[in-house]
């Protein structure tokens, strides 16, 4: 979503950095590094996801600072790799955007928190909810985790970003409503479609690549 310099107060910047580090450490400790080293297919999915996101995130729209719009794609990556590897792949993609000058290095933690970590954790939570409900129809995984999960994840990330910008005093709340919040449902629809379509394709042709998919439940 393109946080630029001078949008957050010093205290907000420090809080985002602390949260960023805590979540990153948790993700690093959660990853099964032995499996990643031994599984070539998983490595290809991981690095391929990072490169793909890095290029997709070059395409964005927006006029006001911090209110850029682009496809996230984190939900699909979370369902494919799990939340921990999805966060690491997303951060690698964010490095690409920093190198290409699309994002400032100073706001890496804030952008990582909003663009990568929050959507991945929300998508993971929705996946756990679907799993606890124990649906027997595979369409539940596609629609709840893929389509709706992606839309909800982006909606939550957008709401958090607006809250950060509002509390920092950069934007008045009516400005955020006029320039971003009222369009947020429109952003959620294409996000849900892109992620849902990707998950559907993976489920049909390569279900073994979806690490969060328990195929036994749908037989």
Q: To 10 degrees, the CA torsion angle through 164, 168, 171, 172?
A: 100
- Classify 158 as helix, strand or coil: helix
User: Is 9 within 8 Å of 168 (Cβ atoms)?
Assistant: yes
Q: Residue 70 region, left (φ>0) first, then alpha (ψ -120 to 50), else beta?
A: beta
Domain boundaries, the chain: 10-218
Give the tens place of pLDDT for each residue, 70-115: 889 999 999 999 999 999 999 999 999 999 988 888 889 999 999 9
Residue 19, token pair as written in the block? 């949260």
Residue with tokens 């928190």: 113
Q: What is the CATH number of domain 10-218?
A: 1.10.1760.20
Give the tens place of pLDDT for each residue, 28-80: 999 999 999 999 999 999 999 999 999 999 887 766 666 777 889 999 999 99
Band the pLDDT of 2: cuts 50, 70, 90: low
State in Å, rounded, how far the first CA of the chain is from the last one. Answer: 39
């Amino acid at each position: 979503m393109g946080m630029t310099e001078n949008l957050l107060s010093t205290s907000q910047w420090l809080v985002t950095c602390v949260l960023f580090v805590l979540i990153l450490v948790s993700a690093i400790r959660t990853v099964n590094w032995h499996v990643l080293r031994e599984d070539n297919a998983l490595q290809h999915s991981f690095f391929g996801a990072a490169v793909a996101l890095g290029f997709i995130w070059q395409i964005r729209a927006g006029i006001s600072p911090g209110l850029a719009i682009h496809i996230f794609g984190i939900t699909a990556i979370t369902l494919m790799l799990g939340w921990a590897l999805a966060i690491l792949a997303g951060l690698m993609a964010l490095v690409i955007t920093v190198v290409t000058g699309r994002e400032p290095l100073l706001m890496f933690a804030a952008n990582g928190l909003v663009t990568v970590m929050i959507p991945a954790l929300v998508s993971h939570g929705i996946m756990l909810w679907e799993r606890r409900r124990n649906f027997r129809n595979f369409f539940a995984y596609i629609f709840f985790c893929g389509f709706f999960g992606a839309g909800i994840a982006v909606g939550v990330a957008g709401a958090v970003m607006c809250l950060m910008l509002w509390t920092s005093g950069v934007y008045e709340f009516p400005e955020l409503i006029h320039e971003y919040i009222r369009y947020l449902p429109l952003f959620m629809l294409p996000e849900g479609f892109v992620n849902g379509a990707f998950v559907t394709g993976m489920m049909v042709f390569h279900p073994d690549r979806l690490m969060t998919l328990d195929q036994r439940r749908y037989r």
